[in-house]
Chain A
């Protein structure tokens, strides 16, 4: 139980294009999802909190117009990197708060998406 999927697992795009990453909770409903960015050999850096049916809450320093987050249903959140540039290349990880038991005290993580911008 408590499975979270991410799609795609890796993507290569040209500079200036937009890329959408999907995060799905497969066996539970998640009213809250989180998006992280992880640089090599570093910890996870929280980018934003995604709440179903409302606007995402972005961490300080994260450009909301560049990293568009939509949480349209209880099982799906999407992160769109708009006008991507090489410095946006990174490993992006989502997590969903909850579990099949309905508890809301643990985050379950997706497998991550490696984005490379050429």
Chain B
């Protein structure tokens, strides 16, 4: 069975600084997807970034980028130039590329951006 681990329950970062959130996963699958979602205080889950396992190139979305290490089963999220609006809970998720399309979520990392 697949598992997703986020080892940092809480983190803080100064505004304009860079922060990295860690995520590791365990799977025997070769093809899958990985995601980072943001859940601000409004509790709306917002897709931040997604990565296909077959792509070696790390995904980027503006200030958000990932460091995808398939062999190490690691999928960290880097937030550059942190903004107050980045304060949220961040969830890492895994999905097999075939089958039920269910997500396996990590336990989340609560990020607070300090002014």
Chain A interface residue count, Cβ-Cβ cutoff 8 angstroms: 22
**Given A32-B101, A43-B105, A49-B100, CB of A105 within 8 Å of CB of B95:** yes
Task: A41 to B95: give the CA distance in the assembly, Å.
Answer: 23
> CB of B91 within 8 A of chain A?
yes
- Least CB separation from B105: chain A residue: A43
On chain B, the residues within 8 Å of A44 by CB distance are: 45, 91, 103, 105
B47 touches A106 (CB 8 A): yes
On chain A, the residues within 8 Å of B102 by CB distance are: 34, 46, 49
Query: Which residues of A67-118 have CB atoms within 8 Å of chain B's CB atoms?
Result: 91, 93, 95, 97, 104-109, 111-112
- Least CB separation from A45: chain B residue: B105
On chain A, the residues within 8 Å of B68 by CB distance are: none
SS class of chain A's interface: helix, strand, loop or mixed?
strand
Chain A nearest CB, measured from B26 CB (Å): 16
Chain B nearest CB, measured from A25 CB (Å): 14
Size bin of chain B's contact surface: 20 to 34
A-B contact count (CB 8 A): 51
> CB of B107 within 8 A of chain A?
yes
Can you name 5 A-B residue pairings with CB atoms under 8 Å? A57-B100, A91-B43, A93-B43, A108-B47, A111-B42
> CB of B30 within 8 A of chain A?
no
Task: A44 to B33: give the CA distance in the assembly, Å.
Answer: 18
Query: Which residues of B1-58 have CB atoms within 8 Å of chain A's CB atoms?
Result: 33, 35, 37, 42-47, 50, 52
Task: A49 to B108: give the CA distance in the assembly, Å.
Answer: 22
- Least CB separation from B103: chain A residue: A107
A43 touches B107 (CB 8 A): yes
On chain A, the residues within 8 Å of B60 by CB distance are: none
